[in-house]
Chains A and B, each alone.
Chain A
């Protein structure tokens, strides 16, 4: 139903899929996401949409292979179909003329921020993009970002490309040089927290795009709960974009870490074994028949 039309490998375990989904392509706006389940019985994972073509009815997903489900999605070849895509989800971001907008992104966030950069540029803002990456090889969509931002600055942690340092360092320099009206940040929790602490000091309005763990992406599970301004909100229906100065990052960090520690438990250790044993049983069964 949702056919994969094109597939690209962008960087180390980061892939781009172009999927035919006319209903979603018609409706989706910057800041929204879709929930994808590669095969029946798999988890639903929230993925941001990088590019849409409403006329052809095509959406482009970019994701990093980190877990079981994203790994499975990465193995699907062209012309295969994805089992289910639900969307668009989340509240579209409010985009208006603000003046000078700085978009900060790290990791896969630089793919998620691309439609937002484009939308701000289209609304008549001057957009300065800042991308932080680990090394040159993990840098994503540099050319597209250069085309959609007025100015793009890149920092790598190990200094293999452009300049060495963190994305927040560049932000601090830019704020010292000129007047910034608005900051938008997507990426790791530490980066977003650092950006928000800094912009709160300088009184620059900031919005952040949170990527919590979701199960059904429709507000049923409550897994994506975040604390914003003292209230518990669900990122999938009230977000995923929030006012950066109101987000309780400590709470968010604990929630994010809660799912990283899966290895502690033995029910995780056995994860790859069922498939192995299944194929083992099958081969034993077949060899038994052949011997007879």
Chain B
């Protein structure tokens, strides 16, 4: 992305030019400006001297205020070839915007009722307002992209069916949506949710600070969230917004959390109690098979026996119980196995990610491409968008050959 370019425009005060410059390369500026993990800020040369340039905040500013009232329709030369994009998450949206600009007739297939994927159903409203997301998606629709909802790949139609319908290329960006199950006794008790389920329920109900919707599922007064990633933090911050007492427990130290430090500070300010270096051992339940607490053990760095490296080891005799009425487990995701089952020709790795050619992004089937988290299993938003953009280039190469 041309960061110096748009920052220069911003300095000149030319907001709309800055917006145009960003939009040329990134179709989701307002979303990125809010939730990007900002690798550019960590790599900034000013990092050592003082604070880095807040590229993310600048992008958000340009996207929010530089957007023209009436979006200009871009003129593109139609190539008359149809491309199907399965999944409307960040990778799918980025790829379809690029493909549409190149003149292909793109149709996005989305399983849920509205496009957006993880942006709509995985990330709570307080991080991405739905109005902003709708605006971005409308811009992509204005490029001539068709969006078909309530379409579940493999079930409503298979990859082979799509090929029969005349799609010259098919891009699978189905993401990694299935929770990684935790091997912990007691995960089947009432009041135990996986992070995806919790966020899904919250997002479907459109619960935010302003809405009067009340969650139609149990969130006890004391919530314990297990995990240290963005999903865990989102779950914790969403529970705080219901007025619950939230504890976030994780194995690592606070500095090793896989979130932006800024985000962690926001969580702390909102009143989340962080409990680093704690590993859950068992989930305890009362006589109704409802969660009553989590048995944990403290962890600490200790010298491993074989090597000199310091490793996280449980501290002996440090077991203790945290009282809880709801436990949310958010320790990771993996891709959905349904596409693998319904498309036997597709080659997959044991962890259910789709195998692709590293140069062309093509899967084992000719004309079927894949990108995003379904290939990399887990990664930040920017990576998904970047891989969506590069796969769009690859599809263009394949179709013009």
The chain A residues found within 8 Å of chain B, CB to CB, are: 23-24, 27, 37, 40-44, 68, 83-89, 215-216, 218-223, 225, 227, 232, 234, 237-238, 251, 254-255, 257-259, 261-262, 264-265, 267-268, 270-271, 274, 277-278
Contact = CB atoms under 8 A, between A and B. Distances in A.
A83 B204 contact: no
B189 interface: yes
A218 B289 contact: no
Interface string B234-265: 00000000100000000000000000000000
B105 to A, nearest CB: 20
B204 A44 contact: yes
Interface string B121-151: 1000000000000000000000000000110
B197 A223 contact: yes
A219 B121 CA distance: 13
A87 B152 contact: yes
Contacts of B338: 218-219, 237
A44 B192 CA distance: 19
B196 A24 contact: no
A274 B288 CA distance: 29
Contacts of A24: 156
B219 A267 contact: yes
A52 to B, nearest CB: 14
B218 A267 contact: yes
Given A219-B336, A259-B190, A270-B214, A27 B288 contact: no
A224 to B, nearest CB: 10
B177 interface: yes
Interface residues on B, range: 35 or more
Contact of B156 (A27, A215, A270): A27
Interface of B: 111-113, 121, 149-150, 152, 155-157, 177-179, 181, 188-194, 196-197, 200-201, 204-206, 212-220, 242, 288-290, 336-338, 341
B181 A215 contact: no
Residue from the set B121, B188, B205 with the largest chain A CB neighbour count within 10 Å = B188
Residue from the set A42, A258, A262 with the largest chain B CB neighbour count within 10 Å = A258
B177 A262 contact: no
B196 A258 contact: no
